[in-house]
Amino acid sequence: MTIEARSIGFRYGDQPVLKDVSFTLTSGRFHALLGPNGAGKSTLFGLTTRLLALQQGDLILAGRSLKKHPTEAMSQLGVVFQQNALDLDLTVRQNLHYHAALHGMSGRVARSRSHRELERFGLLDRADAPVRQLNGGHRRRVEIARALLHQPTILLLDEATAGLDIASRNALNHHVRSLCDQDGLTVLWATHLIEEVHNEDRVLILHRGQLLADADGYQLCSDQGNRDLATTFHTLTGAG
Amino acid sequence: MISPSHYWHGFVGVQTREWLRFWQQRTRFASALVRPLLWLVVFAAGFRAVLGISIIPPYDTYITYENYIAPGLCGMIILFNSMQGALSMVYDRELGSMRVLLTSPLPRPFLLVTKLLAMGGVSVAQVYLFLALALLVDVEPPNWGYLAVLPALILTSLMLGALGLLIATWVKQLENFAGVMNFVIFPMFFLSSALYPLWRMNEASPWLYWICQFNPFTHAVEAIRFSLYLSWNSQAFGITAGTTLVLALLATASFRPQRTRILGKDSA
């Protein structure tokens, strides 16, 4: 169960933002979509979540074409946005139930799955607190718990650690990695922070709308003759 | 293929969320009633002396000016709420919630109409609260009128919500509420039958009268007025329903998150 991008192209007016991007993610693995600001990560994210309409190419989510079968494709997807997408006035539980309803769950199923996810993410004691009262790290955990509520096979995270301190960042990154092992989830983690990416990750480097690299981290380093990913990334993108 | 129960759960979920927000922000919603109440108590008291109302349908006797403008003020509550609600869907407070909504598997037109209905439901509740307070100044429609007016209120809220969504999607310059007040809400409100009967307007200025006739808000107000007083106005209902349908189709068909801020500010 994975994502396949087939010749994705996208323009804002005359400005090309993505140019013929193709890749296939491996089921149950952690993938890092790495690129400097403006590389096209958020556009790719917008296309995958249908917030942007596909102009060229197609995205296949868990075997379903986003163009032809958007409903089936979207039901396989869990999404964590860069910007807060929680309702601050509602409680943690109410936010989860809202998401569950949008994915067609009855009240009983929503209550049971919310309880399970909140327990798994260590948030049960905050279930009835308004989201406004939570710190940034906890809010992010709520967003991930919510994204997993409908049991998707693919989890997309767009700059999920934005605004978090280093400790919360590391904890979140570690937690999402563990989901690949526990649930067999395919994760696409979009970031511009090289320190969030490990050598054993599958790394996709996007730069100025083009996919410059798509390989395991250590393989990329070896191909470029570098010892670490940061140097490899800088070599490929010229970012410094 | 989405099952009927999925649609139902989605519909109930969006409505529930809106009512939870309403309850969380109940003081803000109550304070939104200050504007129409000021019109009813202060403006109407001042104008009662200078503006005589003859016997016109649906009224079968002379009525006070407060009774005349009450349906227009019901429309005003929905007008302000719908515009503000629709703008907040694509510009500010509701961005996160809209992202969650639009990335769900349900079809986008269904989601948008459900969201507009949910916001409309809250506006309708405010209208009923306003009508309850209006009893204090002797605005007393027939008891069954409170029930009969419900379809007109829902239709009006859907029409104005769809208009707000259409404006918010297309007109970047009107992204703040003050701009919408000046260019949409005030002209719609003042160029309607909310504050004065159209025959009065015709006496003063025939061309303004025709503008009022072409204003869908006029017909929404008349639909509210007639049903509140247990009368049927097929023209008002027909035009309001037709306009609602056209605006809802246009708003849902032309809605693109990339034209709004739903996608995010730095969307490269």
pLDDT digits (tens, 9 = 90+) for A100-136: 999 999 999 999 999 998 998 888 999 999 999 998 8
For residues B177 and B164, what is the distance between their CA atoms, to the nearest angstrom? Answer: 11
For residues A93 and A114, what is the distance between their CA atoms, to the nearest angstrom? Answer: 7
Q: Distance (Å) from the C-alpha of residue A230 to the closest C-alpha of chain B?
A: 22
Nearest CA in chain B to A48: B103
Q: Distance (Å) from the C-alpha of residue A227 to the closest C-alpha of chain B?
A: 30
Q: Distance (Å) from the C-alpha of residue B72 to the closest C-alpha of chain A?
A: 32
Q: Which of B211, B207, B236, B183 is nearest to B72 (CA)?
A: B236
- Tens digits of residue pLDDT in B103-149: 899 988 899 899 889 989 999 999 999 999 999 988 889 999 999 99
For residues A66 and A57, what is the distance between their CA atoms, to the nearest angstrom? Answer: 10
What mean pLDDT is reported for chain B? Answer: 85
Quote the ipTM score.
Answer: 0.84
Q: Which of A98, A113, A150 to mutate to test the interface with B (most CBs of B within 10 A)?
A: A98
Find tokens 């439901």 and name the residue. Answer: B121
Residues 82-121 of B with CB under 8 A from A: 95-97, 99-107
Q: Which of A155, A215, A209, A153 is nearest to A187 (CA)?
A: A155
Q: Other CB atoms closer than 10 Å to residue A101's CB: what's the count?
A: 25
Q: Which of B238, B93, B209 is nearest to A84 (CA)?
A: B93
For residues B235 and B250, what is the distance between their CA atoms, to the nearest angstrom? Answer: 22
The residue-averaged pLDDT of A69-87 equals 88
Listed by start position, the domains of chain A span 3-76+152-237, 90-151
Inspect the interface and report whether the beta carbons of A102 and B14 lie closer than 8 Å: yes
For residue A237, the one-letter residue type is: T
For residues A191 and A212, what is the distance between their CA atoms, to the nearest angstrom? Answer: 15
Task: Assess whether pLDDT exceeds 90 at residue A204.
Answer: yes
Q: Measured between beta carbons, which residues in chain B are less than 8 angstroms from residue A18?
A: none
Structure tokens at B176: 């703040």
Task: Assess whether pLDDT exceeds 50 at residue B266.
Answer: no
- Tens digits of residue pLDDT in B13-37: 999 998 888 888 788 777 778 888 9
CB B89 within 8 A of CB B115: yes
A132-146, B29-43, B77-91, B170-184: least confidently modelled range: B170-184
Q: Measured between beta carbons, which residues in chain B are less than 8 angstroms from residue A74?
A: 103-105
Listed by start position, the domains of chain B span 4-259
For residues A48 and A50, what is the distance between their CA atoms, to the nearest angstrom? Answer: 6
Structure tokens at B229: 């007083």
For residues B79 and B195, what is the distance between their CA atoms, to the nearest angstrom? Answer: 14
The answer, for A20 touching chain B at a CB cutoff of 8 Å, is no
Q: Distance (Å) from the C-alpha of residue A144 to the closest C-alpha of chain B?
A: 12
> Residue B194 CA to chain centroid, in angstroms?
13
Task: List residues bridging with A16 in a β-sheet.
Answer: A11
- Tens digits of residue pLDDT in B153-164: 999 999 999 998
Q: Supply the pLDDT for residue B203.
A: 80
The residue-averaged pLDDT of A65-94 equals 89
The answer, for A48 touching chain B at a CB cutoff of 8 Å, is no
The answer, for A68 touching chain B at a CB cutoff of 8 Å, is no
CB A51 within 8 A of CB B111: no
Nearest CA in chain A to B25: A89
For residues B72 and A81, what is the distance between their CA atoms, to the nearest angstrom? Answer: 42
**Fold annotation for A3-76+152-237:** Rossmann fold (3.40.50)
Structure tokens at A210: 């083009």
φ/ψ (deg, to 5) at A81: -85, 160
Give the C-alpha distances (Å, rounded to integers) separating B139 from A27, B63, B143, B206. 66, 10, 12, 30
- 3-class secondary-structure state, position B175: coil
Of A50, A87, A98, the CB nearest to B13: A98
Q: Which of A173, A163, A192, A195 is nearest to A83 (CA)?
A: A163
- Tens digits of residue pLDDT in A173-193: 888 898 888 888 999 999 888
Q: Which of B172, B159, B174, B175 is nearest to B113 (CA)?
A: B159
Q: Supply the pLDDT for residue B9.
A: 94
For residues B209 and B193, what is the distance between their CA atoms, to the nearest angstrom? Answer: 10
A23 phi-psi bin (left φ>0, alpha ψ -120 to 50, beta other): beta
CB A138 within 8 A of CB A123: yes
Task: Assess whether pLDDT exceeds 50 at residue A165.
Answer: yes
Q: Distance (Å) from the C-alpha of residue B258 to the closest C-alpha of chain A?
A: 6
% of chain B beyond a pLDDT of 90: 41
Q: Supply the pLDDT for residue B267.
A: 46
Task: List residues bridging with A80 in a β-sheet.
Answer: A157
Task: Assess whether pLDDT exceeds 60 at residue A240.
Answer: no
The answer, for B26 touching chain A at a CB cutoff of 8 Å, is no
Inspect the interface and report whether the beta carbons of B268 and A37 lie closer than 8 Å: yes
The residue-averaged pLDDT of B225-248 equals 93
Q: Measured between beta carbons, which residues in chain A are less than 8 angstroms from residue B263?
A: 42, 46, 51-52
Q: Distance (Å) from the C-alpha of residue B266 to the closest C-alpha of chain A?
A: 8
Structure tokens at A156: 């997309």
In sequence order, the 6+-apart residues with CB closer than 8 A to the CB of A200 are A216, A217, A218
Provide the strand spans (E) within A28-169. 30-34, 56-61, 64-65, 77-80, 154-158
For residues A118 and A131, what is the distance between their CA atoms, to the nearest angstrom? Answer: 13
Helices (H), chain B: 4-24, 26-31, 34-38, 44-48, 65-90, 95-102, 108-134, 145-148, 150-170, 177-180, 186-190, 198-204, 206-214, 216-228, 234-254
What mean pLDDT is reported for chain A? Answer: 89
A72-81, B170-179, B259-268: least confidently modelled range: B259-268
A180 CB-contact burial (10 Å; exposed 0-12 / middle 13-18 / buried 19+): middle
In sequence order, the 6+-apart residues with CB closer than 8 A to the CB of A114 are A93, A96, A97, A100, A127, A145, A149
Q: How confident is the model at residue B42 (pLDDT cuts 50, 70, 90)?
A: confident
Of B20, B105, B107, the CB nearest to A103: B105
In sequence order, the 6+-apart residues with CB closer than 8 A to the CB of A26 are A2, A186, A202
Q: How confident is the model at residue B174 (pLDDT cuts 50, 70, 90)?
A: low
For residues B111 and B18, what is the distance between their CA atoms, to the nearest angstrom? Answer: 13
Of A42, A72, A100, the CB nearest to B264: A42
Q: Other CB atoms closer than 10 Å to residue B32's CB: what's the count?
A: 18
Q: Supply the pLDDT for residue B157.
A: 94
